[in-house]
Amino acid sequence: MYFTHIYIEKDILKHSNTLNILQKFPKAIQVEIDSYKHIFNRPYQNFQAQKKLPRLILAKKYENFLYSGSYLTDQFKLPNFYYNSLVLNCLYNCEYCYLQGMYNSGHVVVFVNIKDFLEEAEKVWKEKGSLYLCISYDTDLLAFEKILGYCRTWIEFSRGKKNFLLEIRSKSSSFLEISDLEVSENVILAWSLSPLVVVKTYEKKTPTLKRRLENIKLAIEKGWKTRICLDPVLHISGWREIYSQFIEEIFQDLQPQAIHDLSLGTFRINADYLKKIRKIRTDSKIIFYPYKKNGSAFEYPEQVKKEMINFITNLLTKYISKEKIYI
């Protein structure tokens, strides 16, 4: 992980998190700016060109520290589902990622005023009586842990809070960055897994399936609640054979009874995001699949989706009880 340029809002030049992050990149060129929006929200940027050598932008967020979770995302039958956006954009560059349709820029924004996010979460938790909070939603926060330490902060913050459940979802192999922490019952560590061919072809810059499985196994051995996310499942050539081998590989490495639960979902995307992505990813078979519109989202035709879910569910139930599978 390296950034040649770091843009810093003037108001947070002396913030402790700003100084800590800058120490990690002593050779980076530092540029003072008034607002991250002047860089990040500019029109006519090339998302994919910027992903080749992204800049880091350090900023302060002033509002909207929590958002209600999208219906397109797993809620695991839990009330008061929220997420936050501590970081905008991701280190990885998955071909199917909705972020390329959500943002104009491929640069990475880190909000350094984490205390404000914590205070808002505390407030909502007390008002609602419970909170299911995903902190790695518009990014892969665990992948940034070595330079930010945000996962560690949130784990300690949530520890011991009744009816407060924190999910940290990742494709990274960075569990070692938090492995020294005492296990918390308030935290679920969730890994998104894909078959090797999908990782190599469509999930650029992400760790291999083997490395992710090694991290899951280590987290389980340490005693963490661990979730497996088979999402998105892709309708690609030979998908039955690919996913059959994939699921077999998962449970060769992991003990099924040790897994807290598993989420399963086929590819779906916000309609406006897909329209935007199709303008910049003209070579992508995934993006130009003939999806069907369902409300504000595009997804596989119902028969295709049903066939894939049923096929993979049948494979999974050889290893894990249906009660632990969320679709």
pLDDT bin (cut points 50, 70, 90) of residue 287 is very high
Confidence grade of residue 137 (pLDDT, cut at 50, 70, 90): confident
Measured CA angle at 104 (ends 98, 110), to 5 deg: 85
pLDDT at 73 over 80: no
CA–CA distance, 20 with 18 (Å, rounded to integer): 5
Burial 285-304 (b: 16+ CB within 10 A, else e): ebbebebeeeeebbbbeeeb
Whether the predicted pLDDT of 173 surpasses 60: yes
Residue 74 pLDDT level (bands cut at 50, 70, 90): low
* pLDDT value of residue 69: 82
The answer on pLDDT for 278 being more than 60 is: yes
What was the pLDDT predicted at 79?
A: 86
Prior bond of 232 cis (ω within 30°) = yes
Give mean pLDDT, residues 215-220: 98
| Mean pLDDT within 226-253 | 97
Confidence tier at 72 by pLDDT (50, 70, 90):
low
Residue type present at position 168: I
Helices (H), 182-238: 196-202, 209-222
For residue 58, give every residue at least 6 positions away whose Cβ sits within 8 Å of its Cβ, in sequence order, or none: 6, 7, 8, 9, 12, 18, 21, 22, 36, 110, 112
Compute CA distances 263 → 77, 227, 312, whole Å.
12, 8, 11
Q: Burial-class residue 79 by CB neighbours within 10 Å (0-12, 13-18, 19+).
A: exposed
Encoding tokens for residue 147? Answer: 């330079």
- 41-55 pLDDT, tens digit per residue, is 999 999 999 999 999
Q: How far is CA 300 from the centre of its chain?
A: 22
Indicate whether 308 pLDDT > 90.
yes
Is residue 1 very low, low, confident or very high in pLDDT (cuts 50, 70, 90)?
confident
Within the chain, what is the greatest distance between any pair of CA atoms?
A: 56
For residue 75, pLDDT beyond 90? no
Residues of the chain with pLDDT > 70: what percent? 98
CA dihedral angle for residue 221, residue 222, residue 226, residue 231, rounded to 10 degrees: -70
Would the pLDDT of 76 be above 70? no
Q: Where are the strands (E) in 60-137, listed by range?
A: 67-68, 81-83, 87-88, 93-94, 108-111, 131-134
Rounded to an integer, the average pLDDT of 259-286 is 95
Q: Residue 78's pLDDT is what?
A: 84
Strand partners, 238: none
Would you tell me which CATH number, out of the four given (3.80.30.30, 3.40.50.1240, 2.120.10.30, 3.40.50.12780), belongs to the domain 5-326? 3.80.30.30
pTM over 0.85: yes
d(CA 52, CA 91): 10
Q: Confirm if 192 and 202 have CB atoms less than 8 A apart.
A: no
Average pLDDT score over the chain = 96
Looking at residues 206-232, what average pLDDT do you find? 98
Placement of tokens 């590819």 in the chain: 267
pLDDT at 315: 97
DSSP letter string, 273-301: HHHHHHHH-TT-TTTTS--EEETTEEE--
